[in-house]
Structure formats: C-alpha cells, structure tokens
Amino acid sequence: MIQIFLLGISHRTASIELRERLDFSEQELPNATAQLLKRPSVNAVVVLSTCNRSELYVQCTDPKEAQKDLFDFLCEFKKISTDELQPIFYALAGTEAVRHLFRVSAGLDSLVVGEPQVFGQVKQAFAAAEKLHATNSVLNRLFNLSFVAGKRVRSETELGEGAVSISYAAVALARKIFGKLEKLSVLLIGTGEMAQLTGLHFKAQQVQKIFVTSRTPAHAEALAAEVEGEAIPWSQIDTILTSTDVVATATGANKPLLTKSQIDAAMRVRQNRPLFFIDIAVPRNVEPDVGFIEQVFLYNIDDLQMIVDNNLSKRSSQIEKSEAIVEDTVTLFTNWLRSRGAVPTVVALRQSFEAIRRAELERLKPKLASLSVADRARVEEISRLLIEKILLTPTEQLKAISNEATLAAYSDALEHLFELDSHADQPAKSESNPAVKTSTKTPVTS
C-alpha cells in the first residue's frame, strides 16, 4: 500500500528552544537520511528543516509503523526524551500529509502567511534528498506538485504581496521613495532587535553602505559586523546625516535624539537631497516637526503598523483563493497516486493475456506455416490489437476507481479470476533509486 506520511514539529506546536534542538543542519542531513532509510517502514524520505519547522516526509506502506519509526528516530538522533517530544509532534497520513506539504510550499502554514522564503526551503530540502538518493517516483511527484502549488499561489493570488513586518515595511517604504536601493547608504541608530532586523532587510537589498552607531560602541561593532557595515562613533551622527540617504532609529532613549534644527542644518548641506527617516522607537527618537522639512520623509512606528495591518488584511482576502489552488493540486496528486494503485494488477492482467496470445500462436504455428511472412506478421498484429482492445476498457475503469476499498476488492477479484501474480515482476528496489527499499505489497491509493 503506497502511503505518504509526515511527522513533524513547527512554530505552532513547539517553542523556539525545542525547534532549535530538533533542527537538522546541512552537515547532519546525510547521516540522518541514511538512518531513516534503514527504518523498516521507510521507503523514501525528505527532511524539511527550517527555523520554524522540522518535518520528515516519507513514502511508506504502513503509517502506524512509520509513526513509531520516525518518533523513535527523532528521540534517538536528537537525544530528546519521549516526554518532551510527545506533546509537540504532529503526524499526518495520506491526503492530509499531501495537503500540509502543499500549504507549506504555498506559504499558508508560515508564521507570517504568504512569506516567500519557505518555498525555496522546500525546494532545497527536496534537492538535498535527491542528491542523497533518498527519494523515489512517489516523493518526486509529491514534491514537484508542491512546487506547482507554490508557484500558482504566487502568480495567481496576492498572498505574498506587501510588507507584513515593521522592519520590512520600512524597507518597502524606502523603495517607494527612492526606487532601487543599491546606491543608497543607511544609518542605523540603535542596536536592539528592531534595528537589527531593519539592518538585515537593508543588507538583503544590497544597499551600498550601512553605518551603525550606538552609545555602546561594542554593540555598534557587533551589529555592523552582522550587516557587513561600518560602526561609527556616536559623536559623528551630525556628519553622517549630511550624506546618508536613510536613517533608521530604534533606541530606548526617553526623549528625541534628532531635532528639527539639527536636521535643518543637515539639509542645508545636502542641498535638499531627500532624506528618509524611519523612527521605530517608542518614545520617538525623532522630533515630529522634522516631518515638515522639505524633502524629508518621516515615518514612525504607527505609520508602519498601519501599512502592515493593511497588507495583512489584503493577504487574508487571498487565503480562500490560495486554499482552492492547493486543493486543486492535492486532487492532481491523489488521482495520480490512485492510478498507480491499479498498475500492478493491470500489468499482471496484460502479461497474462499476452502469455495466452503467444501460447496460442505457438500452438497454431504448424497451421500458419503455409502463410507468407507478411501474412504471419499480420496475424501477429491482429492478435495483439485484439488483446489491446479487450483490455482497454477494464484498464481505464480500474484506474478510475476512487475508493481504496473498492480498488482493492476489484484487484483481488481479477487476481483470483485470472490467477494473476501482481508481485512476480516487481523489482526489489525503487526504480529511481536502487538504495531505497520498495514494498513487495500491492500498492493501493492513500
């Protein structure tokens, strides 16, 4: 019985401390994958590990056995107790496991709905499993269709449009004002979490230069190293203001650090070249009147939150459409898998009829001896076409059966009526991976 099974943990079930413990590093993957393939129930496997989830996708024959094998593997490999793992893991089989993967790939199961990074992470996980020869035709089809679902959601909906974090909203605003950011310089005032996230977002945009300043020089040095920027003394803020393009402030000061007169002076030197302020601090680090200066753009955390809320609302309106795309793709996979369930019986039936055809032609060989070579070839062709015609409708009907129990009953009936052996010619290894174990049971749909 072909089954898709998933066991995992995510941001929905586990704390960051536990997610860190259950994370699979790139260096661990080969050993982890090899150990998983040694488990009796596992025929093929893909390990998906991100900051928000660790999930094991397997093609198996018995979900109950797979759950035990995967649970035991996680406890042993990650040295986590059963009491710690028991409350946080989830297990999904069949269509539910398929749907979950497609929702993950589409960004519907992310901490921030619609975030695009997870799509690339799913592709990387599958590529790594392929490189380790850990997949087979079933998981290949499953993951390739997950990419179809993810691409369709991104191209046919607006689920991923708009910034949905304060720090990224700041970058999105900068792009609206300046267009491309590659030639811009950025000044970060403060080194806390918000300053760090903002700096990392600007780094990802490949800005020309990032300056970092703080009243604690060591903190400025540390953040500057993280964003590949330059730490500057606190005393040089006024000088940097005359040349930088974007200023992001996120300190814990209880009164404004940048005043209107200070920015007026900087703008005179700048000759009114635009200056963009992102004041993420509470209390505010920049005097509100700065926003009235010509060619100065000032946004505070409330402005950014309004943008985030609006974008989240837009994304929410796209969820239903995205879920429909996922369901379409789930149907594609389940139909494909269902048709595979009939393949061994169909193959055995065709082989049986073909054997009968050849035996009869051999028996009639003396009577056909008087025919010309062309006529004998014609008899051969006609007999083969007759078999094809006879088996066409039963084959199509068998592949179209949607109910697993009905498919199994029909397959068993055919095997009994025609004395078929649908296991006889099945290879002992997966067709796409000789290292992967293949079940000797007759596959049926999940």
Residue whose entry in the numeric block shows the structure tokens 């000759």: 271
d(CA 365, CA 113): 70
CA-angle at 423, arms to 421 and 428, nearest 5°: 155
Tokens at residue 345, please?
């019986």
Give the model's pLDDT for residue 307.
Answer: 78
CATH architecture observed for domain 166-302: 3-Layer(aba) Sandwich (3.40)
- pLDDT above 70: percentage of residues in the chain: 89
pLDDT-based confidence at 164, cuts 50/70/90? low
Cα separations in angstroms, 229 against 42, 235, 238, 351, 374: 47, 18, 18, 69, 82
What distance in Å separates the CA atoms of residue 31 and residue 77, rounded to the nearest whole number? 10
Distances (CA, A) of 146 to 12, 31, 52, 110: 21, 25, 18, 15
Whether 384 has a pLDDT exceeding 70, the answer reads yes
Look at the alpha carbons of 365, 367, 373, 379 in this order and tell me if their dihedral is positive or negative. Answer: negative
Q: Is 75 a catalytic residue?
A: no
Share of the chain above pLDDT 90, in %: 59
Instruction: Report domain extents, the chain.
Output: 3-156, 166-302, 340-417
CA of residue 377 relative to chain centroid, distance: 54
Give the class (CATH, top level) of 3-156: alpha beta
**Res. 157: pLDDT tops 70:** yes
| CA gap 184, 210 in Å, rounded | 9
3-state SS assignment for residue 437: strand
Beta-strand relationship, 296-300 and 3-10: unpaired
Tokens of 187: 């000044």
From CA 73, how far away is CA 70, in angstroms rounded? 5
Confidence of residue 417 (pLDDT cuts 50, 70, 90): confident
- pTM score > 0.85 for this model? no
State the catalytic residue, choosing from 1, 23, 51, 441. 51
Q: H or E stretch including 128? A: helix 117-131
Asked if residues 420 and 349 have their Cβ atoms less than 8 Å apart, the reply is: yes
Residues in the chain: 446
Please give the span between the terminal C-alpha atoms of the chain, in angstroms, as a whole number: 8
Reported as a single tens digit per residue, the pLDDT across 190-243 is 998 889 989 998 998 999 999 999 999 999 999 999 999 999 999 999 999 999
Alpha-carbon dihedral of residues 230, 235, 238, 240, nearest 10 degrees?
Answer: -10
DSSP code string of 239-277: HHHTT-SEEEE----SS-SB-HHHHHHHHHHHTT--EEE
| pLDDT band (50, 70, 90) for residue 184 | very high
CA distances from 96 to 3, 65, 90, 357 (A): 11, 17, 11, 44
CA pair distance 404, 342, nearest whole angstrom: 10
CA 206 to chain centre: 25
Give the span between the Cα atoms of 325 and 301, in whole angstroms: 35
pLDDT tens profile 399-415? 777 666 676 677 777 77
Residue 162: pLDDT above 70? no
Is the pLDDT assigned to residue 429 strictly greater than 70? no
Does residue 415 contact residue 422 with C-beta atoms inside 8 Å? yes
